[in-house]
Amino acid sequence: MTSRADLAREIAASFAAAGLETPEREARALLRAGLGLSDVDLLARADAAVPEAEAHRLRALAARRAAGEPLARLVGRREFWSLDFALAPETLVPRPETETLVEAALAAFPDRATPLAILDLGTGSGALLAALLSEYPAAFGIGVDLSPGAARQARANLESLGLGARAAILVGAWADALAGRFDLVVSNPPYIPTMDIAALDREVREHDPLLALDGGPKGLDAYRAIARALPGLLRPGGRAVLELGIGQEGDVATLLTAVGLAPDGPARRDLAGIARAIVTRPA
C-alpha cells in the first residue's frame, strides 16, 4: 500500500506538471478532504497506509484537479466565515472576498443582539445569509435565488448549520416575490460583463454556473434590478450591502444614488485592496 506521504508527493508532482501554483499545498488539501483528516492527522501519521481503493479514488480526483476542476467542486464543500457549506452545480463556490460583505454588515449593525430582518438576494449556497445569522442570534433571514437547485442547497446548508428555524428560502427573480421590508439587504449578484466571461480563469468559466456570473453587457444588469427594488425593501434606518466587481464602485454608486440610497462613504475593501462591499446610507 501507498503511504499518505508518498501519495501526497505523487499528487503534488502531478499538480506541478499541470502548472498549479501551489502543488504541495493543494495535494495536502486534497488528501485532507478526500480522507476526512485534520491537518494534525495528516502530519502526525504521514506514514499511515492508504488502502488501494482509496488511493485510486484520490488519484482520479487529482487528475480532475490537474485538468482545472476546483478542489471545492471535487470534494463538494467549501468553508466560508468558518462555517462549512455543501455545494451544488447551481451554486458559486463561496470566496474569501465575499466575507468583506459580512464585515461591512457587522460594522453597520454593531449590536449583535439586534433582531434584524435580513434579506439575501441571489443566495446561492446560503453562505452570506448563514454567516450573518450566525453573528446575529436574534435575526431572521430570507434568501432568494432564481435557481431551484441553488435554493434547495441553501435550505439544506442552513438546516445542517442549525439555522433553518430562523431562515426561509424562496425561488424567484430578485425581490419580485417579496412584499415585506428588511433591516439589512445583502447581495453578491452576477457582475461579470458578458463579453468577459470567456476570459475568466478556467476554474470559474467551466465550473461556476453562468447564471451566477453573467451580469449583462456591462455587468450592471443585476445592480439595476436590485437598486430599483431597494427603496421598497428597506425599513427606515435599513442598509443594503452589495458586492462589487473590480472597477464597478462608481457605476453602482450612481445607480444607488438615483433611487435615493447614496453610498455611506467609500466601499469597504477586501484583503487585496479591491473596493468590494458598497453600503447604502440609512434609508
- Which residue ranges are tagged as binding site for substrate? 188-191
Please give the Cα distance from 113 to 139 (Å, whole number).
Answer: 8
CB 220 within 8 A of CB 167: no
Please give the Cα distance from 75 to 77 (Å, whole number).
Answer: 6
Residues of the binding site? 122-126, 145, 174, 188-191
Distances 12 to 6, 72, 86 between C-alpha atoms, Å: 10, 17, 25
Mapped to the 3 state alphabet, what secondary structure does 17-36 carry? HHCCCCHHHHHHHHHHHHHC
Distances 128 to 105, 191, 251 between C-alpha atoms, Å: 10, 17, 23
CB 282 within 8 A of CB 237: yes
3-state secondary structure of 133: helix
As given in the structure block, the three cell numbers for residue 131 are 454567516
Please give the Cα distance from 132 to 105 (Å, whole number).
Answer: 8
What is the separation, in whole angstroms, between the first and last Cα of the chain?
Answer: 64
Residues of the binding site for S-adenosyl-L-methionine? 122-126, 145, 174, 188
Distances 213 to 186, 210, 229 between C-alpha atoms, Å: 17, 5, 21
